[in-house]
Structure 1
Amino acid sequence: MSRCWKSRPRPSVRLCLPGLGSVVLRVLEVLWVSVCLVHSDSSVVVQKEAQFGVSYLDTVTSHNQTIYSFNHTVSRNKTEGVRVSVELLSETTKSPILFVIRQKQAVLSFQVPLILRGLYQRKYQYTQVGRTLCQPPTLVASETQFFYVDVSTLSSTSVHYQLRVSRVESFTLQTDKKFSFNATPSQPQFFKYVFPDGVDTVIVKVNSEKNFPCSVMSIQDIQCPVYDLDNNVAFIGMYQTMTKKGAVTVQRKDFPSNSFYVVVVVKTEDEACGGPLKFYPLLPDELLDAGNRSKTLDVVVSPAINSEVYVMGMLFCLGIFLSFYVLTFLVACIENKRMNRKREGFLQPADMSPAETASLLGKGLTPPSPYEYGSFADNGSTMSSEPVTDSLASAEGTYGYMERSMDTVGRCRQESLSSVEEDDYDTLADIDSDKNIVRTKKYLCVSDLARKDKRVLNKKYQIYFWNISTIAVFYALPVIQLVITYQTVVNVTGNQDICYYNFLCAHPLGALSSFNNILSNLGYVMLGLLFLLIVLQRDILHNRALMRNDITALECGIPKHFGLFYAMGTALMMEGLLSACYHVCPNYTNFQFDTSFMYMIAGLCMLKLYQKRHPDINASAYTAYACLAAVIFFSVLGVVFGKGNTAFWIVFSVIHILATLLLSTQLYYMGRWKLDSGILRRMLYVIYTDCVRQCSGPMYIDRMVLLVMGNIVNWSLAAYGLIKRPNDFASYLLAIAICNLLLYFAFYIIMKLRSGERIRCLALVCILFTAVVWGFALFFFFQGLSTWQKTPAESREHNRDCILLSFFDDHDIWHFLSSIAMFGSFLVLLTMDDDLDTVQRDKIYVF
C-alpha cells in the first residue's frame, strides 16, 4: 500500500480515514496525489514496503520522493549484515540522487553518482554504489528493527535507478576460515569478528592475487557509522595500505566489545601503493573515468601466539648469549691451567739470575738479523722460503724473550720509559729527520714504530673509549625520545604505514608493536659487555706483568693498547641499543640509527688492525671520530637527497676517490708527506725520477700492492654508485666500509703468514667460526622481509611468517648471528697476534 502526503507545509496530513469504504478511500487517495503533482512548489513523498533480495527499478525527480521501508529481526546471539546496492540507470544527469538510510542508531547518506577525490583533488565518478549497514548491538534476545531508504533528487527530469537490499552471507568471520569477496572504491566491504573465549590476540590477514588496484585494510571498533570510503577510512581505528598482502595484529584489550570490524576499501588511485602517477590536464569540475577497479580479496583471522611463546622466545634469546659467558669462563679456566703448567715447566724471567740468562745466551743461540726474521731476506727484494733452524725455533719458542743481551734490553727499556709524546719534542731540530730516517727504511719492525712512551700512548688510545661513550650518550638519548614519539603516533593515529614491520611476524608487547625485533638485539649488548670483560681481564693481567717488570710484557709482542678494544665493545653494545630503537618503528627517516655505529665498528676495526703494527702513528681519536662523523653526515644526505640525484652522486664519487688517494698516500709514506702548495711539484719530481729517468719499482712493495688493490676496489665502488645510483645509500656506504675492512684484514693475514708468523689454535678457531657464522648471517640478511626503499604496501609483499619458535623471523636470526659474528671478529682481532707475545719487537715485521 502506498501513502501520499504533502511535504510542505509539515507535518504532513495522512490520508487514512477510518470508516470509509475501500473504494472511496482509493478515489480520495488518487485525487490527493493528483493535487500534489499539480502544485509546483511541493513534492510528493511515496513510501513503499520493501523486501530483501528484490531489485526495485524506479524513477525520481525533484517533485517526488520515495521511501523504502524494511524490517528485519535482530538477535543478540546472531549478527546479520545488510547491504544496500544502488545503480544509476540514466546515462546523463546534472543532479545526483541522494540516498539517506535511517537506522535505529545511525544515519547513512551518499549520492549517486558518487564522487571520490584522489591525488591533487582529481575527481572520479562512480554510478554503482554498494554500502553495508552497521549493526548496532541489541540488549534483548530478539527484536524487530526498521530502517528506511529515502531517495530524492533536485533534478527536474526523471532519473532512473535500481535499488536492492540484501543480507550478507558470512558477515561474521570465523577463526582460521578464509572468506573471499570483491570490492571497488564505491563498493567497500566490511565484516565482523568476535574474539572467541581464550583468545586475546589475533592476526587479520588480507590477501589478493594481483597488486593493483591499491587497497586499504582497516580495523574499527563496533560502532556507527563505519568509515568505509577512501576519503574517511583513516578517521578511526588501525589502517594500512596493501597490494597483495596486508596483516594487522589485533588485541582484545583494545576493543571493549570483544569484537571489531574488518574494513577493506579500494582506493581511487594507486600512488599510495607505488603505482604509476598520472598527471591529467584538469579543467574546473572535470570528472575522470574511474575505470575497472574491482579487486578480489581473501580475509583470514588467525589466533596469534600466547604468553607461553613469549616466555620461550625470551628464554631462548637469553640462553643463547648466556652460553657464551659460560663458554668463555671454561676457556679461561683451561687457558689458566695451561699457563700454570707452562710456568711449572719453564723458568720465568723474574726467576732467572743475570748469570743464568748470560749462560743461556752464550750457547750459540744468536738471533738472526732484524730483517731476516721469519722468511725475509736481507736485501728485501725477494722472500726467502728457507725455514729457521730447529734449534733457533726452539729457542725462540721457549726463551724468545731473551733473544737480546741484557744490556740491549735494559737500554731499550730505558729509552722506552724516558721517551715522551712526539708533540712534546717536535720543536727539536732533529726530530723530523729522525722520523724520516726511521719511517722511510725499506723494512720496518714494530720497535721502529713503538718508540713513544707507553703511558702516553695508553692515554691517547683511552680517549677512543671515553669519546665513544660520550657520543653514545648524546646520540642515544634523542634517538630513544624520537622512537618513543614514533610509537606513540602509531598507537594514537592507527596509521600502520608509518613503520615498516614484518607484519606477519610482529608480536606486540605493551606499547611496542614488534617486540620480537627489539628483543633479538639483546645479543649485541650482552656480547659487547662480554667482550669488554675479556678485554678488562687481559688489561689487568698485562698491567700486573708491567708492575713486576716482566720483560715479555715490556719488550716482546705487539704493544698492548686496549683503548680501541674498549671502544669496539662499547660500539657493539650501542649498535644493539640503536638497532632496537630503529626496530621500534623502522622507516627511511631513522635508518641511520641502525647504521651509524656499524660505520664506527668498521672504522674502529680498521684502526685497530693498523695500530697493531703502527702504534706510534695511528690516528688520534679526534681525527678518527671526525672522519666517521663525515661518513654519517654523507649517509644522512644520501638517504634524504641521494635518490635519483645526479649532482649528489657526482660530488660523492669525487670525494670518495679523492679521500681514497689521500689515505693511500698517507699510508704509503707513513705520514711523512705534506699537503701544501708544493705537492704537485713533488709529485711530478717523483714521477720524473722513478718513472721517466729510470724505471724503478716501488720502494715499499707490500704496501703498494695493498693500496693498489684498495684503490681498485674503491674506484669500482664509486663507479658502481655513480652508474647504478642505488636507492639504499646507507647500505651502499656500509658496503664500502665492509669491503675495505675485509680487504685490509685479508692483507694482514696473508702478510702475517708470509712473514713466518703463525696463528694459534684459539685464533684459528675464532677465524673459522666467525667466517661460517658471517656466511649464515648474510644469508638471512638478504631475505629482505621489508624495505623502506618502497612504499609501505610494496614492502608488505616481502613479509613472511615466523620461522623460529613461532616468535622470530629471518631478520631476528640475522640479529642473532650478526651479533655472534661481530663478537667473533673482535676476538680474532684480540687473539690473532698472541703467537708474538714472546717475540722481540725488533723481530716483528711491519706491514
Structure 2
Amino acid sequence: MLLRNYWKSRHKNGRGPAPCWIRPGLAAVLWFCVTQLGSGGGAVGETKSVVQKDAEFDVTYNDTVTSENQTIYAFNHTVSRNKTEGVRLSVDVLSQDLDSTILFVVRQKQAVLSFQVPLILRGLYQRKYPYNHVGRTLCQPPTRAASETQYFFVDVSTLSSQGTNYQLRVSRVESFTLQTDKKFSFTASPSQPQYFKYVFPDGVDTVIVKVNSDMTFPCSVMSIQDIQCPVYDLDNNVAFIGMYQTMTKKGAITVQRKDFPSNSFYVVVVVKTEDEACGGPLRFYPLRPDELIDAGNRSKVLDVVVTPAINSKVYVMGMLFCLGIFFSFYLLTFLMACVENKRMNKKRELFQNPSDMSPAETGSTAPSKTPASPYEYGSFADNGSTLSSEAITDSATSTDNNYGYMERSLDSVGRSRQESLSSVEEDDYDTLDDINSDKNIVRTKKFLCVADLARKDKRVLSKKYQIYFWNIATIAVFYALPVIQLVITYQTVVNVTGNQDICYYNFLCAHPLGALSAFNNILSNLGYVMLGLLFLLIVLKRDIVHNRALVRNDLNALECGIPKHFGLFYAMGTALMMEGLLSACYHVCPNYTNFQFDTSFMYMIAGLCMLKLYQKRHPDINASAYTAYACLAAVIFFSVLGVVFGKGNTVFWIIFSVIHILATLLLSTQLYYMGRWRLDSGVLRRMVYIIYTDSIRQCSGPMYIDRMVLLVMGNIVNWSLAAYGLIERPNDFASYLLAIAICNLLLYFAFYIIMKLRSGERIQCLALVCILFTAVIWGFALYFFFQGLSTWQKTPAESREHNRDCILLSFFDDHDIWHFLSSIAMFGSFLVLLTMDDDLDTVQRDKIYVF
C-alpha cells in the first residue's frame, strides 16, 4: 500500500507507465520486484547478490542460480520500422529436481514475459506435465522511428537454497515475417510454441492462413492474434484472444484486413499437452492429484503458408452464376408454357371448326380395342405366364373419351357439378351405415378402378387436401423463426469468442461476407427456394386451368383422369422452399446440435411424395393432414433421440428397431386392406384365423397379388434396414433415418411405374424426359454428397482433415454443387409426380386401375 501511494504521489492522474507491482495478473513479476527491493535495502526478504551481465545473441550461457544470487542478462539490438526480426529465448534446466524451480523474467519495452522452469502445463482433469526445456518468442513492440536500439533484460532467480544449473540462449528468428504464397516449415512442442508475423500487402484485403502437418498427433492449436503484447502462446491461454482452432493435419483460417487495424497479425501455433481435443486416446488418470506425468516427446513438424483469398469479382461471379442457373429454369418454363398455350389455342380452334379436323381428330377412325376385363388384369394363364400387353387396353387412345362422345349428357354433368358444390361434409358421408357397407363391398373387390375410390364429394376432398398446405405453412413459420434466432446467436458467439471449433465448415473453401463465415454454403441453397417457388407457380397454373374446366363443365375434367387435388403439391413446393431456408440456416454454423435443421424438411418431402403417389389412385382413403404430420413429427422426434442418445446405445437401437418393424407391419396391413380393418384386442386372433383358413386350410394365395408383392418387398427392405441399424449402429442416425425414408419412396415409385406400364398406360414424352433427366441429376448429386468435406460426427480437428479447396469458380466446393444438383433433382422429381399421369386425362375413371 505504501508503494502504491508513493507511486501515485510521483505520477499525478496516473499518467506514465505503471511499475510492475501495479500491473494486474503478473504475480511472478510482483514477487520479483519485492525480492529485488529486498536485495537492495534489506527491508523485505533476505539479502541477495545481483549480478548483471552484458549478453550477446547466439551465445549459450551456462550458469547456476541459488536463493542467494540473481543474474540479469542485458541484451540490446537494433529495430527498424520497415523490418521485423523475431527474438527467441531458449532455456534448459539441467537439474532433475522438480523442487528447484527457476523463475525467468524478460523485461522489454512495453512488455514483460515471465515463466518458470520446469514449466508445468495442465491437461484434462488438471493432470500436470512438467517440461525442463522451454523456448519462447519475445514480443516485439512496434517502433515509429526509422531505426531504434532497444534493450531488454532476462532476470534469473530462484527460492531454492540448492544450486540449479541452467542454459540460456537468445537468438534471432529467421523468416519471422511470413511471405505471401511462400511455405515455411518449423517445429513446435507444448513448451516451445511458435508464432510468426504477417503483414497484408497492398491490394490484398483477405487471406487464408493454412497450417499443415504430416503428423496426425500430437494435437495442435493455430491462432490468429493482433499485433500486441503479450502474445498468448501456451496451451492454457491461447484461447484468450483472437481466432483459434484445433488441428491434426490441416488447419485454415480466413483473415480479413478490416479486423486488424495494424494491417498485420500473428500466426500462433501451439502443441497441446493432450490429444483428447483432437479425438486422440484418453491417457490414464493420475493416482494422486499432485502427481506429475511424463509428457514424452510431443514435438510436431508443421508448415504454414498464407495465400490471398478471392476478391469481390469472384463473389459477384459466384452470385451471378447461382442466379443464372435457376433463372434459366424460369425462362424454360415460360417458353414451354407459351408453346403449350399456343398448342391448346390451336386445338380449341380446330374443335370449334370440326370441318377442318382430320378423321383421327374427330374420332371417326375404326373402333379401338375393347377394354380388358378387370378380372383379366393381373391374372395368370394356366401355363403360369401373364397376359400379354396387347390384352390390356390403352385407354388413353380410346375414341369414346373425346369431346362429344361421352355417354352422359351435358345437362346431367351440370347437375352433378352443382351437386358436388353443395354443402356436404366428409363425416356426413362416412358415418352412414349403408355407406360403410358400400365401402366394404367396394374396397374388397379384387380389381378396383379409380372411380371406386373417388366417390366422395370433390369440394370436401379439395378442402381436406388444402389442409396439407396450410398446416405445413404454419409449421414452417413456427419452426423457422427460432431456428433463425438460434443460428444468429451461434454466428455471434463464433465472431465474439473467435472459437473456430464451434462450426464445422470446409475451412479451405469458406468465403465470409459480413458477419457470415461461409457465405458460399448459404448462397448455394438459393436453388431450393427458387425452384420451390417455381413449382408452386406451375401447380397454381394447373389448378387455375382445372378450375376453369370445371366451371365450363368440361367432361374430361369432370369424369376423366386421375382426380385433380393440388393441396399436396402446394405442400411439397412449400417444403422444398423451407428445405432451402433451413439448410442455409444450418450452414450458418453447421455442428452437432443443429444438424436437425437440415434434415427435418427432408423427412417432410419424402413423406409428402409417398402420400401423393398413394393419393393418385386412392383419393378417398388417403391419410388426413393431421395424421400425416403427426407421423412425421414422430419421425423427427426419433431423429432427435437418435442424434442425442443413439451413438453406441444398444437399448435405444433395440427399441427403435422394434418400433420400425411394428410400424412397417401396421402400415402394410392398412395398405393391404384399404383401411378396412380395426386395431383392437382381437386383431391377433383375426390374423391367425385368416392365415389358418386362407393359407393353411385352403392353400389359397393372396387375394390382392399386386399389393402383396409391393408390401412383401417393402417389408424385406425395412426389416433389412432395421437389422443393419441394430448390428452396425451408424453414428449418423439422422442420415440413417433419411435413408429409410428415401428407400421406401424409391421402392413405391418404382412399383408405381411398373404397374402403370403393366396396366397398359403410357408415359408421355414430357414425363419421360423429366424421369431420365432427374435420374441423371440424382446420380451426379449423390456423387458430390458423398465427398464428405466435413463431419460433425468427429472432433473439429478430425473434420478438418476432410476439407478441400473450391472446385467451381474458386467459390463453390463439392457440397455447394450437391446443393445445386439436389435442388434441381428434387424439382425434377416433383415434376415427374405432377406430369406422370397426364396420359390419363382423357380416360374415364372406371377404366383406370388402382394399384
What code does the residue aligned with 1:638 have? G
Determine whether 1:49 maps to 2:54.
yes
Pick which of 700-709 and 365-374 moved more. Answer: 365-374
Displacement of 1:384 in angstroms is: 2.5
Other-structure match for 1:608? 612
Determine whether 1:499 maps to 2:503.
yes
Q: 2:671 aligns with which of 662, 667, 674?
A: 667
Asked if the contact 2:102–2:158 (Cα under 8 Å) also holds between the matched residues in 1, the reply is: yes
Aligned CA distance change for structure 1 residues 437 and 361 (closer, same or farther; 3 Å)? farther
Q: CA separation in 1, counterparts of 2:40 and 2:757?
A: 105
Displacement of 1:691 in angstroms is: 1.7
Displacement of 1:430 in angstroms is: 1.7
Asked if the contact 2:643–2:734 (Cα under 8 Å) also holds between the matched residues in 1, the reply is: yes
Pick which of 251-260 and 327-336 moved more. Answer: 327-336
What code does the residue aligned with 2:91 have? V
Aligned CA distance change for structure 1 residues 348 and 186 (closer, same or farther; 3 Å)? farther
Aligned CA distance change for structure 1 residues 75 and 260 (closer, same or farther; 3 Å)? same
What code does the residue aligned with 1:66 have? T
Other-structure match for 1:20? none
Residue pairs, 1:618-767, within 5 angstroms: 618-767=622-771
What code does the residue aligned with 1:203 have? I
Determine whether 1:511 maps to 2:515.
yes
Aligned CA distance change for structure 1 residues 838 and 408 (closer, same or farther; 3 Å)? farther
Secondary structure of the equivalent of 2:665?
A: helix
Secondary structure of the equivalent of 2:805?
A: coil
What code does the residue aligned with 2:164 have? V
User: Per-residue displacement from partner, 1:582-628 (whole Å, max 9, x unpaired)?
Assistant: 00000010000000000000000000000000000000000000000
What code does the residue aligned with 2:515 have? A
Other-structure match for 1:296? 301
Asked if the contact 2:417–2:553 (Cα under 8 Å) also holds between the matched residues in 1, the reply is: no
Other-structure match for 1:212? 217
Asked if the contact 2:53–2:72 (Cα under 8 Å) also holds between the matched residues in 1, the reply is: yes
Residue pairs, 1:5-16, within 5 angstroms: 12=40
Displacement of 1:431 in angstroms is: 2.1
Aligned CA distance change for structure 1 residues 486 and 497 (closer, same or farther; 3 Å)? same
Other-structure match for 1:30? none
Other-structure match for 2:334? 329
Pick which of 106-115 and 401-410 moved more. Answer: 401-410
Asked if the contact 1:690–1:696 (Cα under 8 Å) also holds between the matched residues in 2, the reply is: yes
Determine whether 1:384 maps to 2:387.
yes
Secondary structure of the equivalent of 1:567?
A: helix
Aligned CA distance change for structure 1 residues 545 and 367 (closer, same or farther; 3 Å)? farther
Q: 1:396 aligns with which of 394, 399, 408?
A: 399
Q: CA separation in 2, counterparts of 1:376 and 1:337?
A: 44
Determine whether 1:122 maps to 2:127.
yes
Asked if the contact 1:46–1:65 (Cα under 8 Å) also holds between the matched residues in 2, the reply is: yes
Determine whether 1:473 maps to 2:477.
yes
Q: 1:544 aligns with which of 541, 548, 558?
A: 548
Other-structure match for 1:21? none
Q: 1:368 aligns with which of 347, 368, 371?
A: 371
Asked if the contact 1:499–1:586 (Cα under 8 Å) also holds between the matched residues in 2, the reply is: yes
Other-structure match for 1:438? 442
Q: CA separation in 1, counterparts of 2:224 and 2:312?
A: 23
Asked if the contact 1:84–1:165 (Cα under 8 Å) also holds between the matched residues in 2, the reply is: yes
Secondary structure of the equivalent of 1:193?
A: strand
Other-structure match for 1:260? 265
Displacement of 1:681 in angstroms is: 1.2
Aligned CA distance change for structure 1 residues 635 and 401 (closer, same or farther; 3 Å)? farther
Q: CA separation in 1, counterparts of 2:403 and 2:378?
A: 17
Displacement of 1:42 in angstroms is: 1.6
Aligned CA distance change for structure 1 residues 466 and 386 (closer, same or farther; 3 Å)? closer
Q: CA separation in 2, counterparts of 1:823 and 1:7?
A: 77
Secondary structure of the equivalent of 2:73?
A: strand
Determine whether 1:784 maps to 2:806.
no
| Paired positions, count | 813
Other-structure match for 1:318? 323
Q: 1:771 aligns with which of 775, 790, 797?
A: 775
Secondary structure of the equivalent of 2:238?
A: coil
Q: CA separation in 2, counterparts of 1:127 and 1:549?
A: 95
Displacement of 1:12 in angstroms is: 3.5
Aligned CA distance change for structure 1 residues 678 and 216 (closer, same or farther; 3 Å)? same
Q: 1:76 aligns with which of 70, 81, 87?
A: 81
Q: CA separation in 1, counterparts of 2:826 and 2:770?
A: 11
TM-score (norm 2): 0.92
User: Per-residue displacement from partner, 1:61-117 (whole Å, max 9, x unpaired)?
Assistant: 111110000000111111000000000111224131000000000100000000000
Asked if the contact 1:575–1:594 (Cα under 8 Å) also holds between the matched residues in 2, the reply is: yes
TM-score (norm 1): 0.92
Determine whether 1:58 maps to 2:58.
no
Q: CA separation in 2, counterparts of 1:391 and 1:696?
A: 31
Other-structure match for 1:228? 233
User: Per-residue displacement from partner, 1:543-596 (whole Å, max 9, x unpaired)?
Assistant: 000000001000000000000000000000000000000000000100000000
Q: 2:278 aligns with which of 267, 273, 282?
A: 273
Other-structure match for 1:598? 602
Q: CA separation in 1, counterparts of 2:366 and 2:760?
A: 24
Other-structure match for 1:32? none
Aligned CA distance change for structure 1 residues 43 and 397 (closer, same or farther; 3 Å)? farther
Determine whether 1:572 maps to 2:579.
no
Q: CA separation in 1, counterparts of 2:596 and 2:363?
A: 60
What code does the residue aligned with 1:705 have? V
Other-structure match for 2:18? none
What code does the residue aligned with 1:714 have? N
Pick which of 107-116 and 390-399 moved more. Answer: 390-399
Q: CA separation in 2, counterparts of 1:377 and 1:412?
A: 39
Secondary structure of the equivalent of 1:371?
A: coil
Determine whether 1:819 maps to 2:811.
no
Q: CA separation in 2, counterparts of 1:451 and 1:796?
A: 59
Residue pairs, 1:94-113, within 5 angstroms: 94-113=99-118
Secondary structure of the equivalent of 2:176?
A: coil
User: Per-residue displacement from partner, 1:780-814 (whole Å, max 9, x unpaired)?
Assistant: 00000000000000000000000000000000000
Determine whether 1:457 maps to 2:461.
yes
Q: CA separation in 2, counterparts of 1:81 and 1:644?
A: 50
Aligned CA distance change for structure 1 residues 835 and 390 (closer, same or farther; 3 Å)? closer
Q: CA separation in 2, counterparts of 1:716 and 1:465?
A: 34
Q: 1:342 aligns with which of 332, 340, 347?
A: 347
Q: CA separation in 2, counterparts of 1:723 and 1:795?
A: 25
Other-structure match for 2:207? 202
Asked if the contact 1:73–1:142 (Cα under 8 Å) also holds between the matched residues in 2, the reply is: yes
Asked if the contact 1:185–1:229 (Cα under 8 Å) also holds between the matched residues in 2, the reply is: yes
Uncovered stretches (5+) of structure 1, i.e. residues with no partner: 1-5, 14-35
Other-structure match for 1:24? none
Asked if the contact 2:389–2:758 (Cα under 8 Å) also holds between the matched residues in 1, the reply is: no
Aligned CA distance change for structure 1 residues 843 and 66 (closer, same or farther; 3 Å)? same
Q: CA separation in 2, counterparts of 1:362 and 1:801?
A: 65
Asked if the contact 1:400–1:840 (Cα under 8 Å) also holds between the matched residues in 2, the reply is: no
Displacement of 1:425 in angstroms is: 3.4
What code does the residue aligned with 2:489 have? T
Aligned CA distance change for structure 1 residues 335 and 366 (closer, same or farther; 3 Å)? same
Aligned CA distance change for structure 1 residues 732 and 9 (closer, same or farther; 3 Å)? closer
Secondary structure of the equivalent of 2:239?
A: coil
User: Per-residue displacement from partner, 1:417-440 (whole Å, max 9, x unpaired)?
Assistant: 679444213332222211100000
Aligned CA distance change for structure 1 residues 152 and 9 (closer, same or farther; 3 Å)? closer
What code does the residue aligned with 1:101 have? V
Aligned CA distance change for structure 1 residues 391 and 275 (closer, same or farther; 3 Å)? closer
